[in-house]
Amino acid sequence: MMPGRVFPFSMEKDEKDRYLTGKMIELTQYHRDHCSAYRKMTDALGCDLRRITHYSQLPYLPVSLFKDLRLSSLEEGEDDFKTVTSSGTSGQRRSQIILDARTRTDQQTALARIGSDFLGTRRMPYLVIDCPATVGKRDHFSARTSGILGFSIFGAHRTFALNDDMCLNKDALHDFLEKYGRQPFLVFGFTFMVWKYFCQELEAEGMRPDMRRAVLVHGGGWKKLADQAVSKEAFAAGLGRVCGISRVIDYYGMAEQTGSIFFECECGHLHCSDYSGILFRRPEDFSVCGPGEEGIIEVLSTLPRSYPGHILLTEDQGRLLGIDDCPCGRAGAYFEVSGRIEHAELRGCSDTYEDRS
Amino acid sequence: MTNLQRYNKIIKDYLGCTDEELNDEVLVYNRYPKWDSVKHMEMVAALEDKFCVMFETLDITSFSKYSLGIEILRKLGVDI
């Protein structure tokens, strides 16, 4: 397949509801046939696929389940797969996600199409706010490794801004900006890393590099920054002050669900692509929230085939802002994430580097 | 050396494959054992260097079989 230039934000509500409901029923059946643990769980939840009329009626797994169980829907005898571990510091349990070749390839195609819609199809010089060691370990794929490698398809001349001890690599940064700083370039990193090991370091060192042409893409959660009372606005203002970055794109996504990556548009709204679905549920009875009402986020993806992660209840909360009518012109649902639900385990991608200071 | 020979040399150097393996049945991204996402990006960078071209983002994900690399290079104006 030569993936063409498909616009991944084209389905309007009625078409999307029909499409996603059909896909989710098919995937639920597929995983029931291929994963006995999933079949038992969905049996216990009383799942009768013949009676489903909308994807919101389908059973969802809590995302934390992947920390306890290694769920696989691989064909018998299939040994060609990779295991991706989610974030979590050493004291925390990590999710384990099994990805076969097809699911990995589909994921990259989806990321390329979705990301190109925000970043353009031309690749830009790529500055990573992380250290080379993060991608050095081939046997162990953390969420950070996957993020840096995944976003490599949007970049060229990849350069790491940090040394392996997490201090700023001033020479690398200087050389990169010298060579590419006068054209648009891509900066990628996990939210906490960008703040603590880049923005605050530059500030402490009194460095003011000119990064006005940069597009910063970051994700991985606000939990740790919220603890330090750093708001989204303070984050953007800090970057603007220290290095002149004005274009900041936040994204929402998780290792546990391939294919679901939600980028923030020019209007500051996170967008759901044709590959995904999003729902918000009331914590008291798990019924579906109305528009604008805050609830627990459920994510759906058409891609996971090697493990039953197509419908997951996250530990985050947020609210639906609208469907099909964002001023940016993209069809589909758009939403905001407001934080973690109470009592959820502390977690977030960029938390994986333990603070040793 | 022809451009096809240059292409084949890069593929063999990065994937460690033999001449006999240079075909679409064997060399499939994410299936051929050494052709993972890390090698993929290294190989793209090497092809870009050698042929003085720049793959677009979607070219990188399209390059999923031996022959598709040749197709993309042609699209980018390489006589191969």
Q: For position A149, what pLDDT does the model report?
A: 86
A55-69, A159-173, A257-271, A334-348: segment of lowest average pLDDT: A334-348
Domain assignment present for residue B80? The answer is no
ipTM > 0.90, yes or no = no
Asked if B30 lies within 8 A of A109 by C-beta distance, the reply is no
Q: Residue range A170-186: average pLDDT? A: 97
The answer to whether residue A90 scores a pLDDT higher than 60 is no
Per the structure, the complete domain to which residue B31 belongs is given by 3-75
pLDDT beyond 50 at A169: yes
**Chain B contacts of A150, Cβ < 8 Å?**
37
Confidence of residue A136 (pLDDT cuts 50, 70, 90): confident
DSSP 8-state assignment for residue A125: E
Query: Which residues are paired to A156 by β-bridges?
Result: A125
For residues A204 and A234, the answer to whether their CB atoms sit within 8 Å is: no
Instruction: Check pLDDT > 70 for residue A350.
Output: no
| Residue B14 is assigned to a structural domain of this protein | yes
Cβ distance of A119 and B57 shorter than 8 Å: yes
Q: Is the pLDDT of residue A152 over 80?
A: yes
- Where would I find the beta strands (DSSP E) of A89-210? 96-100, 124-128, 155-160, 185-190
> Which residues in chain A have Cβ-Cβ distances shorter than 8 Å to B61?
3, 105, 108-109, 112, 153
> Of A119, A123, A157, which to mutate for an interface test with B (greatest number of B Cβ within 10 Å)?
A123
The CATH code of the domain that includes B42 is: 1.10.1200.10
Number of structural domains in chain B: 1
- Work out the pLDDT band at B71, boundaries 50, 70, 90: very high
The set of residues, in sequence order, having a beta carbon less than 8 Å from that of A239 and lying 6+ positions away, is A194, A199, A216, A245, A248
Local confidence band at A3 (pLDDT 50, 70, 90 cut-offs): very low
Highest mean pLDDT among A2-16, A66-80, A248-262: A248-262
- For residue A94, what pLDDT is reported? 81
Mean pLDDT of A173-180: 97
What does pTM read for this prediction?
0.89
- Would you give the distance in Å from CA A280 to the centre of its chain? 17
Assigned domain for B25 exists: yes
* Cα–Cα distance, B14 to B35 (Å, whole number): 8
pLDDT score recorded for residue A140:
60
Residue A26 CA: distances (Å) to CA of A15, A20, A46, A117: 17, 10, 17, 28
A281-322: pLDDT as tens digits: 999 999 999 999 999 999 999 999 999 999 999 999 999 999
Cβ pair B54:A123 closer than 8 A? yes
